Amino acid sequence: MGLKKIKWYKFAEKEADVKWTSGGVAEVEADGKKLCIARFDGGWYGFAHLCPHAGAPMTDGYVDGACHVVCPVHNLKFHLSNGRDTNGEGYKLKTYPVEVRPDGVFIGIEEGGLFKWF
Give the SS3 label for residue 60. helix
* Nearest Cα residue to 6 out of 118, 98, 109: 109
Q: What CATH number belongs to 6-110?
A: 2.102.10.10
Domain locations in the chain as residue ranges? 6-110
**pLDDT tens, position by position, for the chain (118 residues)?**
557 899 999 999 999 999 999 999 999 999 999 999 999 999 999 999 999 999 999 999 999 999 999 999 999 999 999 999 998 999 999 999 999 999 999 999 998 755 544 4
